[in-house]
A and B are shown apart, each in its own frame.
Chain A
């Protein structure tokens, strides 16, 4: 029996081995800082393996290329930032179990497999590994009813969407006799059963839409994001979303290329609905985590625009946007983690009134992230949106770009409202605005804020990198 080429799979194998090692180490090492450091070292080792791993293996079931590597870097970055913001936070929340780190690693491993999947079954395998781990993480504050509720909601709806995905995969297999993403398009065109094919495409799109929280499959997001530990909310608002886009890019742009007119129409409708619902309902939210949940729904709507554009330019703009989104969104959640003190959770607009008086530095950071999420230059959010809309205009969807810009303008209201509450009000009586002093959290904030500004001022290397890996 021939030995398959394991080189493309090496980052995942190394990462899995290290995750198992961390799982065992956690039984014997009590210091959680040490475990956190071990995870970061593991991530570094894995990141080092990725550029050397290019290739296709297991008869095309597993593809390691520039595209998957870019996403893997986003996932690993997401993991590192999450670890940094978690170390003290989960102690405060009394959810300090060593499994936290291992489950985070397994979830990231699932995302990496998704990004590299060349076969629908491998894709499903990665998706389940990612999703099951995230369900556990969402319920990690075991003594908190809201956290448990969020885990249960996420699990039930997630299982439902997995079933729909499997149904779609089954139909595609029935129509073509293959689960190989690369062969799907030509086989589907050849057998000519258009209606049935579109039915299958809709199924697959619903399931992916659930993962990236597109309207109308977004119902779970606000409750889950609000109830889950804040560090995990940061993690799952970036990681699973980016992984969802990775598979959307691969499955729709390659596997279902022949039906691009059909799924593009569907995506246009979904993306407009997503931007509308995300941005407009966010206006009503006074809880910052809920507000950021709707904001992350809206951002998925923007990121889809690049897939609608459908060319190299559009896809690289989406990838670039996801990278920028990772920095700014984790940054915004880091500030929320920073505001969690021993006594209370500072989560609502009322509680952050006059924050700038007590903590000018934390407020300034929040200001940067809010500006970036709105898309105001010179922050990274502007660059991300600029390239997305540009790709959209160039592929002939000028009207859609206009719609997106209008919704983006609406979003300024609720992002800048946070800034207004921080800077233009006096602090309320009886609200303790103590903030965390953890050094790793400070490091995470430093990285995210610096990157948001750096990409905003000098975006060229990042944009070119994304173009390079797609093209």
Chain B
């Protein structure tokens, strides 16, 4: 009957979620209440008994990393599409071939664009 459907087989998962939430919060809360607080310099470092920090972690890094990452994604996606196409090439024939050529032409336009914009130069 519509509107009264209860996904009963998911009941254990629901109970599990509740227990997991309670357990997580409970552990943190009990720890907070019970534990001793004796902070000192070494203890407050990001990595106790690790390497001494040399500076802030939030530094600005070059925009070129983003450009490289984007180029990687673009051509990576191309490769992802090419593989399944190549595997079933025998069955899907000329039409899919033309489609793939168009797809590659569009990416090629992007390639030329990136090239002319010196996206491949690390300067």
Contact = CB atoms under 8 A, between A and B. Distances in A.
A402 interface: no
B30 interface: no
A3 B96 CA distance: 10
Nearest to B92: A1
Interface stretch (A19-27, A80-88, A318-326, A337-345): A19-27
B58 interface: no
A3 B95 contact: yes
B113 A24 contact: yes
A192 B113 contact: no
Contacts of A195: 3
Interface residues of A, number: 10
Task: Classify chain B's interface size.
Answer: 10 to 19
A261 interface: no
Contact of B112 (A27, A191, A192, A193): A27
A195 to B, nearest CB: 8
A24 B2 contact: no
B109 A23 contact: yes
Contacts of A192: 2-3
Contacts of A27: 112-113, 116-117
B113 A193 contact: no
A113 to B, nearest CB: 15
A191 B96 contact: no
Contacts of A1: 92-93, 95-96
B95 A24 contact: no
Contacts of A193: 2-3
Nearest to A16: B106
B2 A191 contact: yes
B95 A23 contact: no
Interface of B, secondary structure class, is helix
A192 B3 CA distance: 9
Given A1-B92, A1-B96, A3-B95, A23 B113 contact: yes
B42 to A, nearest CB: 40
B93 A24 contact: no
A33 B1 CA distance: 66
Interface string A188-230: 0001110100000000000000000000000000000000000
Interface in A215-274: none
B83 to A, nearest CB: 19
Nearest to A1: B95
A192 to B, nearest CB: 5
Interface string B84-123: 0000000011011000000000100100110011000000
Contacts of A20: 106, 109
A194 to B, nearest CB: 8
A1 B106 CA distance: 23
Nearest to A4: B95
Given A1-B96, A3-B95, A24 B112 contact: yes
A20 B95 CA distance: 22
Nearest to A13: B102
A192 B93 CA distance: 44
Contacts of B117: 27
B8 to A, nearest CB: 18
Contacts of B92: 1
Nearest to B113: A23
A193 B113 CA distance: 51
A20 B111 CA distance: 12
Nearest to B109: A20
B10 to A, nearest CB: 15
Given A1-B95, A1-B96, A23-B113, 8 more contacts: A1-B92, A3-B95, A20-B109, A24-B112, A27-B116, A193-B2, A193-B3, A195-B3
Interface of A: 1, 3, 20, 23-24, 27, 191-193, 195
17 contacts: A1-B92, A1-B93, A1-B95, A1-B96, A3-B95, A20-B109, A23-B109, A23-B113, A24-B109, A24-B113, A27-B112, A27-B116, A27-B117, A192-B3, A193-B2, A193-B3, A195-B3
Interface of B: 2-3, 92-93, 95-96, 106, 109, 112-113, 116-117
The 5 nearest A-B residue pairs measured at CB: A27-B116, A20-B109, A1-B95, A192-B2, A193-B2
